[in-house]
């Protein structure tokens, strides 16, 4: 008698609710043997298939690591430990972070399709050393949103459009989201919010961690420039570029910072680094007591009430509730506008670029862009292509521009005006206008801005709604920590479902630990994060 054919056993269901589990819970499950790296990886791959490739088609994962399951199998015998705290944890990295494996590193560009890296970026090297499994590459705004004027957040010619998981609606036939997912680390943020990975790594030059974190109800740390190595990251501007974690909780972000904050001979900025032994130490509910928190808003001076004065009614109401929570926790709230010359930027820090974006309502008019970005872009990108890129014929920024022009229908939906402007620079940072602009950025944002404000009012941190304080902190090279604060609705005059709004605590260089402690106290008191609707456990 013929024996019945046995069906292959389905992979065991993970012992944690991956749709909303903090990374710390996943680590606990791995440590306790309640789940394996392979089971986790299979479960995340299933959620990616269901929600990123199917269902709402969030499109946050540009490409999966072809060796993910093989690496997970090798990690099945490992347990997280002091030496390897992330053993078996699946993590996505933004696709402008080099991986020296079979995965491409493309920055979302068709011109770099198939391009690989000669070695791991330092952040990836540190993740692997800690035992993390690199699940794949997250989609992003192409070249971290330095290619074209008014490129939508989360769009790349290679990866397409990332959607916000709280409002995954596209506005019109152009495919632009009704509520954008935040840029440029949009895929990194959406994947974490949707439960497609345990955590992710994004990058920021000015707002690219904070903006997607606030729009997706996440915690992020935009570090002091030099805390995390920039080696192996496709650059915009080295004076402001940094990587940072995307997580569901403050503790998770602190755990990742423990791994990522390390000196690196490939990045001289890290030589100045100052950090505690453990960023998770002293995360306490009473950390807000006695802290002096600056709220840059003075209704008696409305024309200079830049950060709070123009908030929509629901945003203003939410921020009032946030401030009430901080007061109840014992914080001293100091209400005073930021010095005008701090946020308004210094003379000679911006330049006009002709807007040729065919889909822009402002097409044909000049648009302002930071001088530092455009000058440092050509210099840094050419170095990256020379020192890191392989398996590609693209060797310079000029090659990318030429490729895009030759493949304009697919590659230049929104143009490449910023690349064109950058390519007109010498590319060696020798120009006086560049040096002057960088000096003025520091004078305005640091000396006359954050430093003057915090010194005058003896502040521990500055509280900003959402990502509104991103530019002043980024120009200064200073850190910010974002934490979920609630929900708002509406976009461009249209009704929408609710989507998240966060608050950021910004401070002086190397103050990440203090900011994490303040953010943790607020997070524990408010508990405002909620997972996106419609993405349940499978």
Domain end, chosen from 272, 303, 319, is at 272
Tell me, yes or no, whether 258 and 363 share the same domain: no
Q: Same domain for 42 and 166?
A: yes
**Residue 85, domain member (yes or no):** yes
Residues 355 and 213 occupy one common structural domain: no
* Statement to judge: residues 359 and 263 lie in one domain: no
Q: Which of 153, 184, 185, 200 is catalytic?
A: 184
Residues 209-251 have pLDDT tens digits of 999 999 999 999 999 999 999 999 999 999 999 999 999 999 9
Q: Is residue 421 part of a domain?
A: yes
Mark whether 31 and 119 lie in a shared domain.
Answer: yes
* H/E element, 90: strand 90-94
The strand pair at 90-94 and 133-138 is best described as parallel
pLDDT tens per residue, range 377-421: 999 999 999 999 999 999 999 999 999 999 999 999 999 999 999
Residue 4 pLDDT exceeds 50: no
pTM of the model: 0.96
Residue that terminates a domain, selected from 435, 470, 490: 435
Cβ atoms of residues 219 and 125 within 8 Å = no
CATH code for the domain of 222:
3.90.1300.10
The whole-number pLDDT of residue 3 equals 44
238 and 361 share one domain = no
* Whether residue 71 is found in the same domain as residue 211: yes
Backbone angles phi, psi at 501, to 5 degrees: -135, 130
Helices (H), 350-451: 371-387, 397-406, 408-411, 417-423, 432-441
Residues 357 and 268 in one domain: no
Residues 241 and 153 in one domain: yes
The reply to whether 417 falls in a domain is yes
Catalytic residue among 157, 185, 208, 369: 208
> Is residue 208 annotated as a catalytic residue, yes or no?
yes
* 379 and 265 in a common domain: no
pLDDT, residue 349, reads 97
Q: Quick check: is 251 in a domain?
A: yes
Q: Within a domain: residue 486?
A: no
Q: How many angstroms separate the CA atoms of 441 and 97, rounded?
A: 26
Is residue 137 annotated as part of the catalytic site, yes or no?
A: no
The residue-averaged pLDDT of 478-502 equals: 96
Asked whether residue 39 falls in the same domain as residue 175, the answer is yes
Is there a catalytic annotation at residue 184? Answer: yes
Residues 259 and 384 in one domain: no
Query: What is the chain's mean pLDDT, rounded?
Result: 96
> For the chain, how many structural domains are there in total?
2
Query: Has residue 55 been placed in a domain?
Result: yes
CB 349 within 8 A of CB 475: no
Is the residue at 292 inside a domain? Answer: no
Question: Residue 413 is part of which domain span?
Answer: 350-435
Active-site residue, from 94, 125, 137, 163: 94
- Domain-embedded: residue 338: no
Q: Given 435, 470, 501, which residue is the final one in a domain? A: 435
């Amino acid at each position: 008698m013929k024996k019945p054919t046995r069906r292959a056993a389905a992979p065991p269901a993970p012992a944690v609710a991956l749709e909303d589990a903090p990374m710390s819970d996943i680590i606990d499950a791995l440590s306790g043997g309640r789940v394996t790296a392979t089971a986790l990886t299979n479960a995340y791959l299933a959620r990616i298939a269901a929600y990123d490739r199917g269902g709402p088609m969030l499109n946050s994962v540009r490409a999966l690591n072809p060796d993910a399951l093989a690496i997970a199998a090798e990690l099945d015998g490992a347990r997280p430990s002091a030496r390897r705290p992330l053993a078996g944890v699946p993590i996505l990295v933004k696709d402008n972070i080099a991986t020296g494996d079979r995965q491409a590193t493309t920055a979302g560009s068709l011109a770099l399709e198939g391009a690989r890296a000669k070695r791991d970026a330092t952040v990836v090297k540190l993740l692997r050393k800690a035992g993390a499994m690199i699940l794949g590459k997250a989609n992003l705004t192409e070249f971290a949103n330095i290619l074209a004027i008014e490129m939508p957040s989360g769009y790349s010619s290679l990866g397409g459009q990332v959607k916000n998981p709280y409002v995954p609606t596209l506005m019109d036939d152009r495919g632009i989201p009704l509520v954008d997912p935040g840029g440029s680390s949009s895929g990194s943020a959406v994947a974490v919010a949707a439960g497609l990975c345990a955590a992710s790594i994004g990058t920021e030059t000015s707002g690219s961690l904070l903006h997607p974190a606030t729009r997706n109800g996440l915690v992020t740390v935009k570090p002091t420039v030099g805390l995390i190595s920039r080696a192996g990251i496709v650059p915009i501007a080295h004076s402001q570029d940094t990587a940072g974690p995307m997580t569901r909780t403050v503790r998770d972000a602190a755990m990742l910072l423990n791994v990522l904050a390390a000196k690196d001979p490939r990045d001289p900025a890290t030589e100045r680094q100052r950090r505690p032994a453990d960023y998770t130490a002293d995360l306490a509910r009473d950390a807000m007591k006695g802290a002096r928190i600056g709220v840059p808003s003075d209704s008696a001076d409305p024309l200079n009430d830049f950060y709070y004065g123009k908030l929509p009614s629901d945003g203003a109401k939410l921020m009032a509730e946030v401030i009430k929570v901080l007061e109840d926790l014992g914080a001293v709230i100091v209400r005073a506008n930021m010095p005008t010359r701090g946020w308004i930027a210094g003379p000679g820090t911006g330049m006009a670029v002709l807007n040729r974006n065919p889909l822009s309502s402002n097409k044909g008019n000049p648009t302002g862009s930071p001088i530092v970005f455009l000058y440092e872009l050509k210099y840094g990108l050419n170095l990256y292509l020379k020192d890191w890129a392989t398996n590609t014929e693209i060797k310079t920024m000029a090659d990318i521009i030429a490729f895009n022009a030759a493949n304009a229908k697919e590659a230049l939906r929104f143009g490449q005006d910023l690349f064109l402007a950058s390519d007109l620079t010498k590319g060696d940072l020798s120009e006086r206008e560049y040096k002057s602009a960088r000096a003025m950025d520091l004078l305005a944002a640091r000396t006359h801005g954050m430093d003057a404000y915090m010194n005058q009012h003896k502040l521990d941190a500055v509280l900003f709604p959402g990502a509104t304080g991103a530019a002043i902190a980024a120009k200064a090279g200073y850190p910010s920590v974002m934490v979920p604060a609630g929900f708002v609705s509406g976009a461009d005059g249209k009704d929408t479902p609710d989507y998240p709004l966060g608050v950021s605590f910004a401070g002086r260089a190397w103050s990440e630990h203090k900011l994490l402690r303040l953010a943790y106290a607020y997070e524990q008191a408010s508990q405002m994060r909620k997972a996106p609707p419609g993405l349940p456990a499978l």
